[in-house]
Amino acid sequence: MQKGKVLSIVMASTLAATLVAGAGTFAYLQANTGTITNKFGKAAEGEDYLLLKLEETGVTLDEQGNGEKSYTIKAGEQDDKDPTVTVTNTIDVFTFVEISDKTTLEGQKLVKYAVDNGWTELTGIYCADENVTDIFYRIVPADADNKIFSVIESDKINYAGKVTKNEIDENNVTLAFQAHCIQTTPFITDSETQLEAAIAAYKELGRAVNYEPEENFTIDEIDDDTVAVTLYKGSSSVVNIPPTIDGKTVVSIDTKAFYDNGTVTKITIPSTVTEVGVGAFSKTPNLAQVKVSKNLTNLWGSAFKESGLTDITIPAGIKTLTDSCLSDNPNLVTVNMTEGLEEIGNNVFANCTSLKTMFLPEGLTKLGGAAFNGCTSLESVTIPESVTDFGESFNFEGCNLTKLTIRGVAGSPAQTYAENNGIKFEAIS
């Protein structure tokens, strides 16, 4: 059994400060582990305070409140993992926890976990720290006693059933946490909810990403509450698509919305979006990075064909990768796919000439015809035993078959396919 390390970075510090309304000035207090920020008006010393700590058993912290702990991956097993947030407050606060999850290696998810009860996912904004993948929050009522909240459900993380790489780069396989507190009513107006005001304060921390102006998009109404983006009219190279336009939720990026855009280099698709239409981002040669909505369920044909993508993560809600949706991407190196994907259509990865290694997820049943045609650098494809349909045409036309290996379970359809087509087969347990 090969072993590697998961590096868990945990940041901790304490904050004691005051917050009082004075001389008609109302202010808010904000605190975060690791780096502490306070903003307040005229305050009487010692009246209100907030203390926030993030810690984990077995982690040794330095003077800045940073610490790390290494874990050895044990295939198919689990480890104790107990990051906790301690809040001591005499004012009502929102407590935010940011999770930086970089535990996917070469398309394989190495660490799985669930967030504990009581935390609600914060959707509609993205963190300026690109490593942050998820943000959760909870309201903590004022109480001077310590209140300790677990972050990970049951304090357990589970390791993937198969770990096959001898060495794991710790910089790329990490699970990190950081916490923030913000008063529930900072500068609140009649038109704002407490959460909206807290998010506005959170943005002032420099942690939130600004959205592209709504006027830079053409939209079509789907119903009274939702819209589809049909055209991007702006000129930005970095585009963070807003979750709402004209007060309606953006749920779709429609056909050719960004087609033939040579300027955009990075796009964030908000978590409200469930569908990316045919050719929505095709012919975007400089589009190197895309943060895909985790709630995406439909990725239609040629969606990212002829783009400049270097990597992409396919969310768990996608059941089918439709024909040519990722084809003709010469810079594409990494495709992370999760369990839940059932079918890969025809020509999906065709002419992705930088692809070297592919791990197809457990539960996949169909690999469409010509899926890897023209992938001239392809060296290894791991195909799960669940794949029984290999499409109507050869999947590796134009590949270098002398250096290609299909990896799979001995006796599986993948082995039969490899042997019938003169491709080297390597059995995995």
DSSP-derived secondary structure for 353-408: TT--EEEPPTT--EE-TTTTTT-TT--EEE--TT--B--SS-S-TTS-TTT-EEEE
In degrees, rounded to 5, the angle at the alpha carbon of residue 312 between the alpha carbons of residues 412 and 126 is 135
Rounded CA-CA distance 158/155 in Å is 10
Q: Could you tell me which residues are beta bridge partners of residue 113?
A: none
Residue with tokens 């993508």: 309
Q: How confident is the model at residue 5, as a pLDDT?
A: 37
- Count CB atoms within 10 A of the CB of residue 57: 11
| Cβ-based neighbours of 266, under 8 Å, separated by 6 or more | 237, 238, 239, 287, 288, 289, 290
Q: How confident is the model at residue 42, as a pLDDT?
A: 27
pTM as predicted: 0.68
Tokens, residue 221: 């109404």
Q: How confident is the model at residue 305, as a pLDDT?
A: 97
| Type and span of the H or E element at 413 | helix 413-420
Q: Would you list the domain boundaries of the chain?
A: 5-204
Q: How confident is the model at residue 163, as a pLDDT?
A: 52
Rounded CA-CA distance 313/294 in Å is 9
Tokens, residue 298: 């439909």
Stretches in the chain below the pLDDT threshold 50 = 1-30, 32-46, 166, 170-171, 187
Residue closest to 321 by CA, chosen among 357, 256, 259, 372: 372
Rounded CA-CA distance 376/401 in Å is 9
Q: How confident is the model at residue 3, as a pLDDT?
A: 33
Quick one: 79 exposed, middle or buried, by C-beta within 10 A (0-12, 13-18, 19+)? Answer: middle
Q: How confident is the model at residue 29, as a pLDDT?
A: 46
- Quick: pLDDT tens for 205-240: 666 667 889 999 999 999 988 999 999 999 999 898
Quick one: 220 exposed, middle or buried, by C-beta within 10 A (0-12, 13-18, 19+)? Answer: exposed
Buried b (16+ CB within 10 A) or exposed e, 242-271: bbbbeeebbbbbbbbbbbebeebebbbbbb
Tell me the three state secondary structure of residue 104: strand
The amino acid present at 301, given as its one-letter code, is G
Pairing of strands 275-276, 298-299: parallel
Tokens, residue 359: 């791990």
On whether the CB atoms of residues 176 and 113 are closer than 8 A, the answer is no
Rounded CA-CA distance 304/321 in Å is 11
Tell me the three state secondary structure of residue 258: coil
